[in-house]
Structure 1
Amino acid sequence: MGVSTSTEPQFLSKLSPSADLLIAVFLIFTGVSSVCGNGAVLAVYYRKRSKIKPAELLTVNLALCDFGFSVLGVPFFIISSLSHAWIFGETGCLLYGIQGSVFGIGSLISTSLISLDRCLKICCLRYGQWVNNLHAFLCMLVIWLYTVFWASLPAFGFGRYRPEPYGTSCTVDWWSIQTTHIDRLYVYLFLCFGFGLPTVTIITSYLAILIKVYISNRALASIPCSFVSNTSTKDLKLAKMAVVVCIAFLVAWLPYASVSLISALLSGEDPLSAPTPAPIINSVLNWTSTESYKHFNPGKWSNTSLSTHQGLTTSSPESSLAPVVTVIPALFAKSHCMMNPIIYQIMHREFRDSLYQMVFGRGKS
């Protein structure tokens, strides 16, 4: 696909065509895997909707968030990567940013509540006796109201959305942290309540689970009983699941949040002192080149971005980091929608049996 000559410079890709092609291929794989995985989760739970449990409703909400982003967000990123520019303009950037924040925060909050639910079930024996589907539905309602609130604020002037440093996607304007007090406040609040709160909840919940499992195993270690053996096996599986969940979450989101914040905080520095990509990345992937930067951005990738659309940047510093440094964490974050159904469902035998029965019409022998 060609790039229109009327495309604004801020929407042009700062990567090489080969890099954009690799990104498109990766996103196609991620999107298809996410749609299939989360679609399977939604289909299985729809079939058993009359017997669904409260904790499973949170998993359904998580799958719905990941499925929604894969259907409504990923295709725009793919098309822009293949076009070597964001071709949907300022309005498209605003809408893409809103849906990305809604589904992204929704996925993180759902993950944190699932973690908290598992923690309370292990550490508080009475918890499971009073929680019902009504509580789960109320949690889902709060999640959607919470995410829509934070995601839609930039459309009303509190915070902004703008193109990512690499040009083919849009996100919260982290770089406005260097401009007005209102935008700085939004960025800090968004980081705290959109990322920090669910991160602390997930890590704390699974640490509590691991501690509880460790204490229980020590208390039961001297009792030679088959029940203890079975319990220990279940506890070990739960501990492994806790480690997998925490690692997957941190690998997917922590680099993106860290790089975005660092890039924003350094955006006011001298652009000539900005770090450059590693030589091996340049040579192997051909993701950056002086010629391509001069072609798309004559000065450097750290000049000022201008826009007049409500909710988008009006004047804010560009990232002081090279585009290749910011695109990799962004891809990891977007791939989290593919990993969730694997972690929460496909690793569970009960789900695999239900999926097999749905596809083949009978249970496994």
Structure 2
Amino acid sequence: MTEDPGTIAATTSEYSDYYDQINFTDGAPCNNGNTKEFSKVFLPTLYSIVFLLGFIGNGLVVWVLIRYRQKSNMTDVCLFNLALSDLLFLLSLPFWAHSAMEEWIFGTFMCHTITGFFTLGLYGSIFFMVLMTVDRYVVIVHAQSIFSRNRSAKMGLVLASFVWVLSLFASLPNIIFAKQKMETSKSSCGSEFPSTNWKSFTYLKMNLLSWIIPLIIMSFCYSQIIPILLSIKSQKRHKVIRLILAVVAVYFLFWTPYNIVMFLMYLQTKGYLLSCESHTSLTLAMQWVETIALSHCCLNPIIYAFAGQKFRRAVLKVLKEHFPLCFSQCATFSQQLSERRSSVFTKSSEYSSTQIA
């Protein structure tokens, strides 16, 4: 097996090629023709949808934060880098979509580069979500700490630089061992590790860094945050708590299936689940769960940016500045609709008063 655990398009083709060359217990090679044909249609379609939705949402976040960079604080810096991470690995999806549909035609250098975009953006997105969680924890639970009092944009830049370096180190094995290969007369791009131990290490690294450690940190931080919010007498506290629960629930729902399948693939490197049926099921499952995990980037702008009232106002202000005609018509329509509802409500009230009299 020479698949890249972060490269979706390469995963299907490389697993298929590997199993086509192996005789299982019944002595027959594993036929993955249906799986390959399914991936040629399924993967490019979903990659295109995720790319378009994610690019629009995260692009808007980056645009607005650059527009108001003079007023940036640490939260804004984290939001900016989170959106930048999502955009980075979204840029790789058109290449993987073409590779799944046809073959890899972009050369070895681009194989290293696109693999780097994908893995660096993937780890960066996860790590910045964890950083934002820790930041909320410090601000709410340890409001009087030195860190809480020095949450400036400069501090955000320092921490963001650390996160990018950490993401680069996590991505290095995939980038270094990325390679363009010719298998069964078709060129593909994937990470070809020198030994089974490297592959096992990469699977466990992905499980630990993309799911287990972030989930532990997020669960601990929010378990400390929620009781404090509940003790505050504010009408907005329930909205904040719902948002926090949504963050954890969405992250868990989108990344758990992927990490389960990744762990099962780790077991394959150890000699388990090597039947043809297991391989076919895992290959199909990986196409679904990895696309679901990727689509989490489309929700990041909604969960972390658009949910905030301050950011929503900034988005509307920027859009009104650049698209005044559209927004003036929308505002006129909204005003007319509001007046019509008010008129209907007034008439209804008058009618009810007459009936009572």
TM-score, structure 1 normalization: 0.69
Q: How does 1:82-101 map to 2 (within 5 A)?
A: 82-83=101-102, 85-88=103-106, 92-101=110-119
Report the equivalent of 1:287: none
C-alpha distance in 1, partners of 2:129/2:150? 21
Q: Is the 8 A contact 1:23 1:81 kept in 2?
A: yes
Deviation track 1:29-55 (CA, whole Å, cap 9, x = no partner) reads 211111111111111111111111111
C-alpha distance in 1, partners of 2:206/2:42? 30
Q: 2:214 aligns with which of 187, 198, 201?
A: 198
Q: 1:25 aligns with which of 23, 42, 45?
A: 45
C-alpha distance in 2, partners of 1:169/1:240? 44
The letter for the 1-side match of 2:140 is I
Task: Tell whether 2:70 aligns with 1:50.
Answer: yes
Q: How does 1:9-158 map to 2 (within 5 A)?
A: 10=17, 15-17=35-37, 19-71=39-91, 73-83=92-102, 85-88=103-106, 92-127=110-145, 128-156=148-176
C-alpha distance in 1, partners of 2:105/2:34? 14
Q: CA deviation at 1:251?
A: 1.8
What root-mean-square deviation, in Å, do the aligned CA atoms of Structure 1 and Structure 2 show?
Answer: 3.4
Q: Which runs of 5+ in 1 are unaligned?
A: 1-6, 218-227, 276-300, 302-319
Q: Is the 8 A contact 1:34 1:70 kept in 2?
A: yes
Between structure 1 and structure 2, the one with the greater Rg is: 2
Report the equivalent of 1:353: 313
Q: 1:331 aligns with which of 288, 291, 311?
A: 291
Q: Is the 8 A contact 2:127 2:163 kept in 1?
A: yes
Q: How many residues align?
A: 292
Q: CA deviation at 1:156?
A: 4.7
Q: CA deviation at 1:168?
A: 11
Q: Which has the higher contact order (CA 8 A, sep 6+)?
A: 1
Q: CA deviation at 1:254?
A: 1.9
C-alpha distance in 2, partners of 1:205/1:345? 20
Q: Which runs of 5+ in 2 are unaligned?
A: 1-12, 19-31, 336-357
The letter for the 2-side match of 1:98 is G
Report the equivalent of 1:317: none
Q: SS in structure 1 opposite 2:216?
A: helix
The letter for the 1-side match of 2:275 is L
Q: CA deviation at 1:87?
A: 4.8
Deviation track 1:67-102 (CA, whole Å, cap 9, x = no partner) reads 11112x11112212332x455566654443332211
Q: How does 1:258-337 map to 2 (within 5 A)?
A: 258-267=260-269, 268-269=271-272, 271-272=274-275, 274-275=277-278, 321-337=281-297
Report the equivalent of 2:239: 237
Q: Is the 8 A contact 1:13 1:168 kept in 2?
A: no
Q: CA deviation at 1:203?
A: 2.2
Structure with greater helix percent: 2
C-alpha distance in 2, partners of 1:10/1:144? 34
